[in-house]
Amino acid sequence: MLKTIDFGETDRILTLLTRHFGKVSVVAKGIRKPTSRLAGHAEPLTHATYQLARGRNLDVLTGAESLALYRELREDLGGIAAGWYIVELADRFAMEKAPSAPLFDLVESALRHLTAGHVPALVCRWFDLHLLDRTGFRPELGHCVQCGEGPAEEPNAWIVEAGGLVCARCAPGSTVGALALSVRALKSLRFLLVSDFESASLLRVDEALAAELDRHLRSFLQNILDREIHTSRLLDELARLPRPAAAIL
Ligand SMILES: [Zn+2]
């Protein structure tokens, strides 16, 4: 379940991410009545089995049984904000009425890792890269997108309009400042992209590297979506709260 919108007196429109039919909007009639037996199974950030009936415009939810409520995730502010971030991106990237098992499995996996208590920023950056990969927007990390050469062990540039890595020879003015791609950030991006989460969780990232990975992936995602990611702001606010130095990423 990705999101809900209240509709009419007691109804709600639910946006579901499904394995076989992509993104689906359904109407849940009477779900806002206190007696609704569907309500507990139809919250955002819930993994559930849903039964639907064909409706005139939208399909109608007739039954729901939750498989995972991700309870531990909901008890932690950083965890739930990361959960909202994941479903916001899934909602933006998912196609309607198209099989989407790879995306579905990725979302389910990311929410499970958050629930298991992994550092939210690491889960989000791993999710970002695999989301781009599975939806056909994988950034170029192996070669310069302009000259095709492998990058030297020096700061290169990250140019989202070009598709990712641009070497220092092709973009000499962009290897310092916001577009600079450090050697360790490039290596971390490559590692996260080819790793399952079990391996990715071994990556050690300090505050500066975490900020650089966040900046580069956010600009890449926003360039594709052509708009801001709302929940990034919430995550920024949370990042500004005081917390132990060891818990950055
Ligand atoms: Zn180049």
Residue 144: partners with Cβ closer than 8 Å, 6 or more residues away: 150, 151, 156, 165, 166, 167, 169, 170
At 42 the pLDDT is 85
Q: What is the pLDDT of residues 238-247, one digit of tens each?
A: 888 876 554 5
Q: Which domains, and CATH codes, for the chain? A: 3-68 (2.40.50.140), 74-140+156-247 (1.20.1440.120)
β-pair partners for 15: 3, 25
At 249 the pLDDT is 54
CA of 165 from ligand 1 middle (Å) equals 8
CA of 10 from ligand 1 middle (Å) equals 58
* Average pLDDT for runs of 10 along the chain of length 249: 93 95 94 90 90 91 91 88 96 93 97 95 97 97 97 96 96 92 98 97 94 97 94 88 59
CA of 150 from ligand 1 middle (Å) equals 8
